[in-house]
Amino acid sequence: MAADLTQDGEPQRVIEAAVAALGGLTTLVNCAGVLRGGAFGTDACTLENFLFNFNGNTRTVFEMMQHAIPHLKVAGEANPGGAAIINVSSVNGVQSFGGGMLHLSCE
């Protein structure tokens, strides 16, 4: 399924479509992200670039979990230990690089 998770309503649509197609949900893997650099003091350090990174790397993870958790609770109640959320991040969550402040702040 193709989706732009940064668009309003898309995370919910994706979860609902998965539940409908699979008959439930036992696992959510958040493994997508974006990178648009911008160091303070440069023209690239804009609110627009910050929001691009935040929406692609943080907001989408939050919304996917928000919509998946009710279904994961059902799976966990039916089979204790039978539901999981896996959030994948890049090395940038623990190792910074020059010019990447806008991206790194969302890891």
Average pLDDT along the chain: 89
Alpha-carbon gap, residue 14 to 68, rounded angstroms: 10
Residue 62 confidence (pLDDT):
96
Q: What is the pLDDT of residues 90-104, one digit of tens each?
A: 776 677 667 777 767
Phi/psi of residue 34, each to 5°? -130, 160
Please tell me the pTM assigned to this model: 0.87
Q: Percent of the chain beyond pLDDT 70?
A: 93
DSSP codes of every residue in 18-43: HHHHHTS--EEEE---------TTST
Could you report the per-residue pLDDT of 57-85, keeping only the tens digit for each? 999 999 999 999 999 999 998 887 789 99
